[in-house]
Structure 1
Amino acid sequence: MSVIPIRSEAATRGARMLRTALGPEIGAWLEEPAVIEVMLNPDGRLWVDRLGLGIADTGAVLSAADGERIIRLVAHHVGAEVHSGAPRVSAELPGTGERFEGLLPPVVAAPSFAIRKPAGTVFTLADYVAAGIMPTAFADALAAAVAARANILVAGGTSTGKTTLTNALLAEVARTGDRVVLIEDTRELQCAAPNLVALRTKDGVASLSDLVRSALRLRPDRIPIGEVRGAEALDLLKAWGTGHPGGVGTIHAGSALGTLRRLEQLIQESVVTVPRALIAETINVVAVLVRDGTGRRLAELVRVEGLDAAGDYRLIPLVPPTEGECP
């Protein structure tokens, strides 16, 4: 289900109404720079995820009636129906662009939602080094990979910072002067390239696969994608591997090898035989982010060097182990 963008002449008024409906506490958390996500659980407890600190219980409680009211109001603004037969609503909040995912019974015991803020600031690779998320050698290797037009997949689990790192890589892309055609289904990526065309999916109108094909007709130098998660993976591989290198994309996976395996699974949604050789030839670099008790960190950074004698992926650390440590 693609996210439905909100386009309304009354967007400003709608934004004010929604902010009021969210209540002063949720509104205050959304205004807090460190907060990246606000979540309502079915038990009514509200949680926030703060950058660098992780998830914390706010101590606040929202009634089921108030939770349902917020979800229905968001649905109204995107022109969607939400009820027991259609208990999900995905949207962008008007004006400020937060990503909203709301659920009603019977898929949850009581109303539940998550509000994820778009990145307010693009962190550079140097910022990652300063924050201890990656060592200087990793940052230098990633910058060099972008300059060399390597195809890079940024992998990780939920809330590991895949989009934030992708935006840092896109900041490097912007320095190249290349024409960029960016594809996503949720407004998350930020690219300051002067020659930029940003495409977004619309449910029932244009899928990611449709937009990959359209992108090829727009004379792109690079085709970044927000998230690879379906049959469009094969279209993207073909685009990146046939004259449009230098792509960047995100994918849900927990390891470098798992990233390539996940890509195989996605490709199998459209074809039976997995073109492993095409994957090994097209994907050049895999960066894997993890989130543990110490926060977010870049756990793996590897180069894909084709297939080995057994036909499996040959993965080589992009940085020697002695250099790949944070000071």
Structure 2
Amino acid sequence: MNIHAHDQQEQQAHARRIEQMRRILGLEIAALFDDTGVVEIMANPDGRVFVERLGSGISPLGEIDASRVQSLLGLMADYLHTTVSRDRPIVEGAMPIEFLRSRFAGAIPPLVEGASFSIRLPARSVYTLDQYVEAGIITAAQMDTLSDAVLSRKNILVSGGTGSGKTTLANALIDRISKLSDIGTRIVIIEDTRELQCTAPNVIQFLTDDDAGIDMTRLLKLTLRYRPDRILVGEVRDKAALALLKAWNTGHPGGIATLHANNPEAALLRLDQLCQEAGVPAQQTLIHEAVDIVLQIARDPNHPAGRRISAILNVKDGVLIS
């Protein structure tokens, strides 16, 4: 078989897989990928489907049969060149480009009672700081504080729990950076999956590559050779925290990164723990020098938008900003 014929077969197989995925999801769920407000699609083990939209929280969206969910996991496993079975009950990875390279995570019994999945869609529209104020998620005074921090090129760590809206908030800050930046401001973004949005005129985005062994630490070292003015990083999860802090602390202020933690103090502690994964002692001094603001966002079921800014910590003086 020649290369052209093989490529043609691969394209046809891919097209069939995409069509199967759309048929399994059904028209209502498939249409959500065209809705720029949707950030998460969740199918629970009991078959109930929920959708989270920017600024309006989670709402129900009917049901999906367990056998369809199981079939979707099988197709995703095939696409990711793996299998899903009782011995390998988890499927994780980026969906095909036709589904926006959304982050997919799914599981089958015995981990859960029934097959389930959660799909995180990439940001396609930016929820601005002004819209955060309109929604009551942040106060006008908090917006002024954050705007001043961006303008004065403070390094900001956006902290929150799972699904709290860290990335969406980071994008709102990046939107403000974009509006302040001209061609002379070079912005470098590093992520595991493309979620951060930047419309500045001089920007380069790097993605890690597990297959090639290119992790975030490697990219942060590479970034320093790309003449960055601001360094923006998707969620910090490992020893790359040390490389990030060193980069921020050596003439590259005005950065933003997200981190999983439940309060500002826990965020700083977790950052230190991640640094120590690089085989170094505690890095409290470096953290204090490199991080200026910890911005905490939290879920709040009593809030109309489902979340709120719970704290802003000025790291240099340890003061919580109202």
TM-score for both structures, normalised by structure 1: 0.85
What one-letter code is carried by the residue in structure 1 that aligns with 2:106? G
- Where do 5+ consecutive residues of structure 2 fail to align? 1-9
What is aligned with 2:166?
Answer: 162
- Does the aligned pair in 2 maintain the 1:118–1:187 contact within 8 Å? yes
DSSP 3-state at the match of 1:100: strand
What is aligned with 1:82?
Answer: 84
Report how far residue 236 of structure 1 moved: 0.6
2:225 and 2:235 mapped to 1: Cα distance? 21
- Does the aligned pair in 2 maintain the 1:30–1:38 contact within 8 Å? no
Aligned partner of 1:45 among 41, 48, 64: 48
What is aligned with 2:21?
Answer: 18
RMSD: 2.1
Aligned partner of 1:251 among 241, 259, 283: 259
Aligned partner of 1:230 among 238, 242, 259: 238
What is aligned with 1:54?
Answer: 57
Q: Structure 1 residues 151 and 56 mapped into 2: Cα distance closer, same or farther (>3 Å)?
A: same
Higher share in helix: 2
TM-score for both structures, normalised by structure 2: 0.86
- Where do 5+ consecutive residues of structure 1 fail to align? 1-7, 306-313, 322-327
What is aligned with 1:282?
Answer: 290
**Greater shift after overlay, 98-107 or 29-38?**
29-38
1:175-194 equivalent positions in 2, closer than 5 A: 175-177=180-182, 178-194=185-201
What one-letter code is carried by the residue in structure 2 that aligns with 1:55? I
Aligned residues: 303
What is aligned with 1:99?
Answer: 103
What is aligned with 2:307?
Answer: 296
Report how far residue 36 of structure 1 moved: 2.4
2:273 and 2:101 mapped to 1: Cα distance? 31
1:196 and 1:53 mapped to 2: Cα distance? 31
1:167 and 1:27 mapped to 2: Cα distance? 25
1:75 and 1:264 mapped to 2: Cα distance? 35
1:62 and 1:14 mapped to 2: Cα distance? 19
1:34 and 1:124 mapped to 2: Cα distance? 13
- Does the aligned pair in 1 maintain the 2:158–2:295 contact within 8 Å? yes
Report how far residue 30 of structure 1 moved: 4.2
